[in-house]
Amino acid sequence: MKRMTVLFSIIALLLTIASFLLIGFTLGWFAPSVIITTNEVAVGDLRYSLSGEFITSNPLDPTVIVPGDELLTSTIGITNNSPIESQLRIKIEYTAYHNNEGEITGSTETYGAAVGEPLVAVFAFDDNDTPDNYTDDINFIYSDNWWYWDNTGYIYSINSGSQEIITSIFYDGNYTGIDYSSFDVSHPVTVSITIEVKQADNVTWSGLTTFIFTTQTTK
Amino acid sequence: MLKKQMVLSLTVLITAAVLFIVVTFAWLTVSEIVNIDGAFITLEDVDATVQLQVSTDVDHIEYTLVEGGISLENAVPGDVFYYRLLITNTGLKPILSRVVFNGFIDEPANDLIAYDEEQSLINCIVLNSYNTANASTIENDLISTRIGELSGGLTYANASFILVSDVDIAVGEDEYVYFTFTVAEDAGNEYQNLKLTISSILIQSAAD
C-alpha cells in the first residue's frame, strides 16, 4: 500500500508539471524563440615582410668606412600583404660628431634630409641629382622625426605589394669633417632604421623592425 | 494512517489527471476560446517573426536582410557596423520581446597568422543600442561591460547579456531594435587577427 501511495504521488506530480507546461504554452507564458546563430566579428591584421640590409661589420674587426661609402648592400623595402588598409613610418637615426673648440662629442641625430646633415638617406623615387636635391620627388614626407608615406592619409591600400623605401645611405663628405676620423680615439658610428606600422585610423603604432649598422672605427 | 495517505494521494492524482485533461483540451483546440462545460479558456496565440538586417549606406537609412548571422571581416579600429532586428508580432495578442546575446568565443581569424591569445575582442568592441518600442538604450558599452563579472564556474563561452527587454509589440505591428558594433578607436595592434564568435542572438517573446 505504501508503494502505491508513492507511485500515485509521483504520477500526480508529473501530471501537474505537464499541466502547467501546457498552460504556459497555451496562455503564452512560453513562446517560440528565434535564434540567430554563428555571429562573427573579426578584425584584420598587418602582414608586412621586409627586405634589404646594411653592410656587415665584425665587432672584432670593424669595417672602416669613409664618407661616401655605401652602407646598404641591398635596398630597404617592404612587401605589404595586409588584408586591411595600413600606415607605415620610418625613423633614421645616426651618430654625428661635433667639434666644440677642440672637444669632439658624439650625439645621436634623427635624419630629416636637412641641408648640411652629415648623413644622406636616398629614398626610393628620389631623383638623386645632387645632394641638395636628395629630397626632390620622394614619396615620403618628414614630420616629428618620422618619415611617412606621402599619399592621402599616408595609407597603404590592401595588399599593396612590394615597395622600395631606401635605396642608399652614406655619410656625406661635404658635411663630415675630420672630427669623424680616429687619430687618437675610437669613434663608433651607428645608423639605425626603425619601421613602425599600424592599422589605418588606429592611433597606436607598433614596431615592425629596426635595421642597425654599427662600426667601431679604429684608432 | 497509511490508508489516509493512500486516499490523499489518490485524490491528488485524480485532481492532477483532471487538470491535465482540461489543459490538453485547451492546447489541442485550434479555436481562440475553449468552452468546456461552461468554463471558458482563452487560447493565447503568441508568435513573432524576426529579421536581422544590416545597413551599409553612408546615412544608415537603408537596411537589407542578412542571411544567417552577423559576419564581419577585417574590421579596423573606428569601424562601425549598423544592424537592426525587425520583430513582427504575428500572433493574436500583444507581446513583450527581449533580445539576449549568448556565448562569446575568441579565436584567431586566420590560423596561419600570429595573434595575441591573451586579448579578447569583448574588450574592444563597443555596443550601442536603442529600439522603437521603449526608451531603453545602451550607449558606448564594451561587450565585456555588458556581460559583467563572471560568477563562479562561468566562462565567456557560456555567458550572456540582455541587449533589450520589454519590447512591447502590438498585434500585427513591427518594432525595431537597433544596435551597432564599433571597434574601439584606441584598440591597439594587440587585437590584430582576432575573431569573436557570438554563439547566438536569442529573441524571446511572451504574451504581454
Considering CB atoms only, which of A13, A25, A40 is closest to B71? A40
What pLDDT score does B164 carry? Answer: 95
Considering CB atoms only, which of A11, A201, A204 is closest to B13? A11
Is residue B166 within 8 A of residue A7, CB to CB? The reply is no
What pLDDT score does B167 carry? Answer: 94
What pLDDT score does A133 carry? Answer: 47
- Pick among A4, A26, A43, A208 to test the B interface (most B CBs inside 10 A): A43
Strands, DSSP E only, in A81-172?
A: 86-100, 103-110, 119-123, 140-143, 146-149, 155-156, 161-171
Give the model confidence (pLDDT) of A137-152 as tens digits. Answer: 557 788 899 988 765 5
Q: List Cα–Cα distances, B22 to A18, A28, B40, in angstroms.
A: 12, 17, 11
Give me the residue spans of the domains in chain B: 2-42, 48-207
Tell me the residues of chain B between 47 and 86 that have a Cβ less than 8 Å away from chain A. Answer: 47-50, 52, 68-78, 81
Give the model confidence (pLDDT) of A147-176 as tens digits. Answer: 887 655 677 888 888 888 888 999 988 888
What is the SS3 assignment for A69?
coil
Start-to-end Cα distance in chain B: 47
How far, rounded to the nearest angstrom, does the alpha carbon of residue B95 sit from its chain's CA centroid? Answer: 14
Q: List Cα–Cα distances, A76 to A6, A197, A199, B144, in angstroms.
A: 86, 15, 21, 42
Q: How far apart are the CA of A155 and the nearest CA of chain B, in angstroms?
A: 13
Chain B residues in contact with A202 by the CB 8 A cut-off are: 76-78, 185-189
Tell me the residues of chain B between 150 and 179 that have a Cβ less than 8 Å away from chain A. Answer: none
Nearest to B125 by CA among B111, B106, B108: B106
b/e B123-151 (16+ beta carbons within 10 angstroms → b): ebbbbbbbbebeeeebeeebbbebbeeee
In degrees rounded to 5, what are phi and psi of residue B125? -105, 120
Give the model confidence (pLDDT) of A95-148 as tens digits. Answer: 998 888 878 888 899 999 888 899 999 887 645 544 444 455 557 788 899 988
Confidence of residue B30 (pLDDT cuts 50, 70, 90): very low
Please state, in angstroms and rounded to a whole number, the distance separating the CA atoms of residues A218 and A212: 19
Q: What value does the mean pLDDT take over residues B35-58? A: 71
Is residue A195 within 8 A of residue A50, CB to CB? The reply is yes
Whether ipTM > 0.90 holds is no
Start-to-end Cα distance in chain A: 112
Question: What CATH topology corresponds to A48-216?
Answer: Immunoglobulin-like (2.60.40)
Please state, in angstroms and rounded to a whole number, the distance separating the CA atoms of residues B77 and A205: 13
Please determine, for residue A219, whether its predicted confidence score (pLDDT) is greater than 50: no
Quick one: residue A170, left, alpha or beta (phi over 0 = left, psi -120 to 50 = alpha)?
A: beta
